[in-house]
Chains A and B, each alone.
Chain A
Amino acid sequence: MTIPEFTPYQIVVPLFSLLMVAYAWNLVLRQKKTIWEGGLWTLFWSVVAYISIVPSSLQYLSGVTGIKKNENAATITAIGVIFFVLFYIIMRLEELEQRLTKLVRDKALRENGVVEPETRKM
């Protein structure tokens, strides 16, 4: 029996995927993600891990998209990473928006007498 030789990419990506899946289920356990979201997240990272271990599985996609060379794949990956970072920044902006909303809400409830000044959270 021969042990298949893996490239570093084929080792790092599945491990990273495993880490992301573990992170997702940790969020599920802490009730920050739903079980459904945990499942979707697991599916996505499983596909990523599978593709990294069995690159030939992308042959069909390669035929459709015309991405055949490793350089092209790297470019596509880079674009994917940039999108991920961009989306992450959008999320952080949304968090700031949420903080602003919370300030507006606290002020509105206080002014209406729904929240007493001494009971509000600091």
Chain B
Amino acid sequence: MRVCAVIPAFNEATRIGAVIRGARQYVDEVIVVADGSLDATAQVAREAGARVIIHTENCGAGAATMTGLEAARRLGFDVAVTVDADGQHATADIPRLVEALRNGGADLVVANRFGRKNIIPPIRRFANALGNIVTFLVTGIYLPDTQCGFKAFGPRALLEVQLRMSGFEFCTEVIREASRHRWKIASIPTKVVYSEYTLAKGQSFANGLKTAAKILLRTFLR
């Protein structure tokens, strides 16, 4: 099984190098999608040994992720693991996600930040719970952590996935794709490290509400 890591990144020059070096130990190739970054994200990623795909405009996390997944399937990878560029995910958990695909028979593995003793701010917990509820309303699938960017796509999921949402709402769309194509989903507890930096880079609560409204709207009018 050829495995790659897909890292969507927007202005992550200070963090992405360490993330790539961490991921490279467990995958065959790291694909970074520099999503209209204005800093040296692309250069740092290249120096760290990643294949860098550059979006000339900032299209959003969902669009960048889909570009990375598209590249992964065109390059003939069997598995793609998506990892956030801000360093909040433990790349050492990549083998566990891949293992769930390989031996667990899953098509999609979603990391669960709440399945282990992680220090997560209450507002984040609340926002994620809201995200889980919205995802359940639009897909009928309940997972403990639908909004986590740390996911592994197996051969079938990688072949069939087609994300249309550009922003952070893509996390819910991935679950919708799983429902649409009837993929088998697994949830694996994972470590997460929140810092001031990752909290500042993540979604604000207001943005989360906007995202929820967009998802509900799109579901209804689709």
Binding partners A and B = yes
Which of A's residues lie within 8 Å of B, judged by CB?
27, 31-37, 39-41, 44, 87-88, 90-91, 94, 97-98, 100-101, 104-105, 107-109, 111-112, 114-115
Contacts of A39 in B (CB 8 A): 140
Bound-state Cα–Cα, A110 to B136, Å:
37
- Interface SS of A by simple majority: helix
Is B56's CB under 8 angstroms from A37's CB? no
Residue in contact with A107 in the complex, picked from B33, B56, B166, B180, CB distance below 8 Å: B56
Q: In the assembly, what is the distance between CA of A97 and CA of B58, in Å?
A: 12
Cβ of B203 < 8 Å from any Cβ of A?
A: no
Contacts known (A90-B217, A91-B218); A104 close to B57, Cβ less than 8 A: yes
Can you identify 16 A-B contacts, CB atoms within 8 angstroms?
A31-B180, A35-B140, A44-B220, A88-B221, A91-B218, A98-B164, A101-B166, A104-B57, A107-B56, A108-B54, A108-B55, A108-B56, A111-B54, A112-B54, A114-B74, A114-B75
Q: Which residues of A contact B57 (CB under 8 A)?
A: 100, 104
A107 to B176, CA, bound (A): 27
Interchain nearest-CB distance for A20 vs B (Å): 11
Residue contact B53 to A114, C-beta cutoff 8 Å: yes
Would B222 and A115 count as touching, CB distance under 8 A? no
> What is the total number of residues of chain B having a CB less than 8 Å from a CB of chain A?
32
| Total CB contacts across the A-B interface at under 8 A | 75
Q: Which one of B60, B71, B176 lies within 8 Å of A112 (CB-CB)?
A: B71
Besides A44-B220, A104-B57, A109-B53, 20 new A-B residue pairs in contact (Cβ under 8 A), listed by A number: A32-B222, A34-B139, A34-B140, A35-B140, A36-B140, A36-B179, A39-B140, A40-B137, A40-B219, A87-B217, A87-B221, A91-B217, A104-B56, A104-B63, A105-B63, A107-B56, A109-B71, A109-B74, A111-B54, A114-B71
